[in-house]
């Protein structure tokens, strides 16, 4: 059987397993839905709207589409309607924030996940391959970082660096690489004594090429699965910091920031409990479904490519 036929057969096998798993189908469907929303955000919720007003009531054009436009200066929430399907809070359209917040979620999750995972792979690969005192030093440093509560560390570092979404992402990256480092190290410890690695060493292949060409292709997949499952939790962490006022500024199209400026209406007013449910429901539901999508996708990939973990 040719190499192309083997690849086609393997691809069909993987797709069959995915489509036979209801959880996997749901996860991929939700993920594709969010990807479409993020790509078509300028079409679904146009950033230039003649109804946008400045403080004097004059139409204005937004320079940054991630800033939720103030359509009216009404201080009272406006319930969902045909014109504003998710309602409005403080004159800002919730639908606009949820749609553009999808882009923010992908930006945060992908950036932090890619950078922290790459850094963890580098540290773990060096530690696992060389061993000895190098392994001891790197793993003790990793243990120190792991001993610090992630959310608390991110809050402290964000406070030191200053408020802002970029500061939140730096903080989460600094304290988010340890899991990938330990996982890749453990996998490399199992693989580096295999015959193909020893043969490459005997032939005089440089350590860098042994790690890149022979070891990582056989050890990296569990790390990628872990990274996919971290995407949702990172978005939740960033939203939590924004809710506390440490992340995205007020009015930014970020789900956590939206919950921040809707907190006064979470319980409603006296005699009208939960009257303003839409202020929390839509951004909260977006976060729940986004996290659920990545968790289901990660579980599906793990089950497909590592049947022992079913």
Domain-wise residue ranges, the chain: 25-309
**282: which 2 tokens?**
């839509």
pTM over 0.95: no
CA–chain centroid gap for 19, Å, is 24
Residue 310, pLDDT score: 47
Q: Which residues pair with 89 in a beta bridge?
A: 92
Q: Helix, strand, or coil here: 101? A: helix
Q: Classify the phi-psi angles of 81: left when phi > 0, otherwise alpha if psi is within -120 to 50, otherwise beta.
A: beta
User: What number does CATH give the domain 25-309?
Assistant: 1.10.3720.10
Q: How many residues does the chain have?
A: 310
- Crossing angle of helices 132-146 and 178-191, in 10° steps, is 150
Residue 117, pLDDT score: 93
pLDDT string in tens for the chain (310-residue length)? 455 565 566 666 667 777 777 888 898 999 999 999 999 998 898 875 545 555 565 655 666 778 777 776 666 777 788 888 888 887 788 899 899 999 999 999 999 999 999 999 999 999 988 888 998 999 999 999 988 888 888 888 888 888 788 888 898 899 889 989 999 998 898 888 888 888 888 888 888 888 888 888 888 888 888 888 888 888 888 888 888 888 888 778 888 888 887 777 776 666 666 677 888 888 989 999 999 999 888 888 777 766 444 4
Helix H or strand E segment including 297: helix 278-305
Tell me how far apart the alpha carbons of residues 110 and 133 are, in angstroms, rounded to a whole number: 33
């Amino acid at each position: 059987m040719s190499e192309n036929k083997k690849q086609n057969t393997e691809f069909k096998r993987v797709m069959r397993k995915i489509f036979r798993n209801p959880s996997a189908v749901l996860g991929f469907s939700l993920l594709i839905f969010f990807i479409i929303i993020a790509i078509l955000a300028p079409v679904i919720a146009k950033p230039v709207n003649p109804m946008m007003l400045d403080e004097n009531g004059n139409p204005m054009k937004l320079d940054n589409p991630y800033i939720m436009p103030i359509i009216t200066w009404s201080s009272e929430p406006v319930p969902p309607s045909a014109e504003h399907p998710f309602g409005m809070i403080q004159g800002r359209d919730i639908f606009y924030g949820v749609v553009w917040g999808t882009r923010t979620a992908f930006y945060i999750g992908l950036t932090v996940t890619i950078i922290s995972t790459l850094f963890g792979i580098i540290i773990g690969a060096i530690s696992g391959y060389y061993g000895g005192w190098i392994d001891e030093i790197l793993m003790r440093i990793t243990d120190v970082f792991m001993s610090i509560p992630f959310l608390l560390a991110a809050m402290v570092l964000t406070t030191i660096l200053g408020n802002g979404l970029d500061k939140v992402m730096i903080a989460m990256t600094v304290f988010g690489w340890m899991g990938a480092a330990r996982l890749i190290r453990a996998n490399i410890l199992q693989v580096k004594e295999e015959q193909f690695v020893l043969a490459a060493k005997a032939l005089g292949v440089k350590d860098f090429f042994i790690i890149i060409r022979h070891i990582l292709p056989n050890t990296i997949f569990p790390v990628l699965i872990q990274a996919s499952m971290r995407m949702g939790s990172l978005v939740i962490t960033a939203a939590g910091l924004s809710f506390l006022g440490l992340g995205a500024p007020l009015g930014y199209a970020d789900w956590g920031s939206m919950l921040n400026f809707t907190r006064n209406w979470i319980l409603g007013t006296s005699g009208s409990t939960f009257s303003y449910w839409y202020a929390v429901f839509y951004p909260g539901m977006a976060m729940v479904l986004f996290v659920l999508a990545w968790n289901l996708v990660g579980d599906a990939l793990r089950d497909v490519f590592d049947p022992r973990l079913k």
